[in-house]
Every structure is written in C-alpha cells, then in structure tokens.
C-alpha cells in the first residue's frame, strides 16, 4: 500500500525514524543496517513495507530495495515475524544473509538472537531456491568460502573489472585448483578476462 516515503527526517534512532511527509509524521521501524546507511541530510527516501494486523499498522523502512525484498522473503517463512526479520537484518547485512541461505549455513543464521536450529533450517529450506534464483547465485560458488578467492576478486575489482564477470572466471580457476594463491588466481584471471 505504501511503497516508499520521501520527506524530512525529523527523528532518528537505531531502531526507528520519523519522516515528515507534507506535514504528516510517519513512524518507521528500521534495522541497524538501514540506520548505518541513512544519509546525513535532512531530506531522505526510504522504501517501506506496511504490516497490517488487528491491533496495529506498522511501517518498516529500508534505504535499499534489496533489503526490503529480503525482509519480505524472511516474513514468508513460518515462525519468522517482523521483529525477528528486523533482528536478522540488524545482526547481519543483507548480503551475509543471502549468502548464508544460499550456502545452507545454518550456524550463521542460528547465531542471530532469537533463532534456534529448527528455525534456521526452515529459513534455509524455504528460501534457498528463491535466493539462488533471485540473486543468480551458483550453489557451487557459495559452498566455498575461500579467502584467496575473495582477495583476488577484490583486487580485480580495484583493477576495474566487473564483479560478475570476474566471479565466473575466478570460480573456474578455484574449482580447478582450490589451493591456488591469490597471485596465481589474479594472473590466471587476467588472461581470461
């Protein structure tokens, strides 16, 4: 119903903001991730999700559309309400959550306050396919949390290569030689990019 709010930021705290839109002050619940991304200007725009219950109409706001989409996905999981979804987005950034879901990392999701092992497993079971499809992730690439791979990708990005194309090339190199050093990954990637 309310897709976004654009107006003057009247009040802000790590859990909520008040935005004045044409003389009406909207109370909006936010995550710590959104709080950290709020600009230092008076005029802001947040993407919103309106939750309607018998006893309350609650607005949740997000600086990034992608965070709102993850929030909505989390709400679709049985046993996860708005407050737990917001806690998840306050504990981990959206990319960490999507990576944990895509790679089936129960431990990371379970590390969030208020989430037990059954709920963590349900989140992964319900959302893994959606996340892999929506974010165009490859299950193989998610299973290896390789620091050499990550460092090589960062270096290639600094050199001006697009992350998406670099990831494909680096994944292929790491698959062929999982023990490859950062330097050798970069050298091989440069030949293929």
Q: What is the CATH number of the domain that holds 170?
A: 1.10.8.10
Task: State the CB neighbour count (10 A cutoff) for residue 84.
Answer: 19
- Asked if 131 and 98 touch (Cβ cutoff 8 Å), the reply is yes
If asked whether residues 56 and 111 sit together in one domain, one would say: no
If asked whether residues 126 and 177 sit together in one domain, one would say: no
If asked whether residues 44 and 58 sit together in one domain, one would say: yes
If asked whether residues 69 and 94 sit together in one domain, one would say: yes
If asked whether residues 155 and 109 sit together in one domain, one would say: no
Tokens of 3: 């897709």
If asked whether residues 56 and 86 sit together in one domain, one would say: no
Whole-number pLDDT of residue 141:
47
Whole-number pLDDT of residue 139:
52
- The CATH code of the domain that includes 99 is 1.10.150.20
List, for the chain, all residue ranges whose pLDDT scores fall below the cut of 50.
140-145
Domain that holds residue 11: 4-62
Whole-number pLDDT of residue 138:
56
Tokens of 15: 């859990």
If asked whether residues 73 and 114 sit together in one domain, one would say: yes
If asked whether residues 55 and 81 sit together in one domain, one would say: no
Report the domain count for the chain. 3
If asked whether residues 56 and 21 sit together in one domain, one would say: yes
Whole-number pLDDT of residue 146:
61
If asked whether residues 58 and 69 sit together in one domain, one would say: no
**Distance of alpha carbon 56 from alpha carbon 69, whole angstroms:** 22
48 contacts: CB under 8 Å, gap ≥ 6: 2, 3, 4, 5, 28, 59, 60, 61, 62, 68
Q: Looking up tokens 């990019």, which residue turns up?
A: 193
pLDDT tens digits, 119-165: 999 999 999 888 888 776 555 444 444 677 788 888 888 888 887 88
């Amino acid at each position: 119903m309310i897709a976004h709010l654009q107006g003057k930021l009247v009040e802000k705290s790590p859990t909520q903001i008040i935005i004045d839109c044409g003389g009406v002050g909207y109370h909006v619940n936010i995550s710590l991730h959104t709080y950290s991304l709020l600009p230092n200007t008076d005029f802001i725009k947040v993407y919103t999700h309106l939750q309607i219950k018998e006893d309350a109409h609650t607005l949740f706001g997000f600086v990034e559309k992608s965070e709102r989409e993850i929030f909505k996905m989390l709400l679709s999981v049985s046993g996860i309400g708005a407050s737990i979804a917001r806690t998840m987005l306050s504990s981990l950034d959206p990319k960490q959550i999507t990576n944990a879901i895509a790679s089936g990392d129960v431990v990371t999701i379970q590390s969030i306050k208020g989430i037990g092992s059954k709920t963590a497993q349900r989140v992964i079971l319900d959302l893994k396919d959606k996340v892999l499809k929506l974010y165009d992730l490859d299950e193989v690439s998610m299973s290896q949390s390789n620091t050499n791979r990550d460092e090589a990708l960062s270096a290639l990005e600094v050199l001006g290569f697009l992350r998406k194309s670099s990831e494909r090339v680096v994944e292929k190199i790491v698959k062929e030689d999982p023990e490859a050093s950062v330097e050798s990954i970069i050298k091989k990637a440069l030949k293929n990019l």
